[in-house]
Amino acid sequence: MKRFKVFRKKLFLAGAVFTVIVLAGLYIFQNNFEIASRYLIDEYTGKIKELSQENKILEIESAQISSLEKISQQISLLNFEKNNKIYYLKVLNTQAIAK
């Protein structure tokens, strides 16, 4: 009987130690996963900020490319001239397409 009580105590202590070790391992694993997730969130937040800044720069460049000054420079490069008078073609017949 006494051996049975000692065996029960040892079994209980071994089970308690095993449970503590398993719970500690799970705690460490959970903390490691949470910390890794936080680092990923920080990394992706940085990438979002970087892409937002790049997007603003590209918007500004797009506006500059299509600005009127650039268009006027292209007109001068292509040797276009300003038209002072507009001449319309007069249709002699009332129909646009003759039979």
- Total count of domains within the chain: 1
In a domain? residue 91: no
Is 21 a member of any domain? yes
Distance, CA of 70 to CA of 63 (rounded, Å): 10
pLDDT at 62: 83
Range of the domain at 64: 2-77
Mean pLDDT of the chain, nearest integer: 87
Does the pTM exceed 0.75?
no
Mean predicted confidence (pLDDT) in 53-76: 84
**Residues 75-91: pLDDT tens digits?**
888 888 778 888 887 77
Residues 64 and 70 sit within 8 Å (Cβ to Cβ): yes
Residue 45 CA, chain-centre distance (Å), reads 9
Residue 74 pLDDT exceeds 60: yes
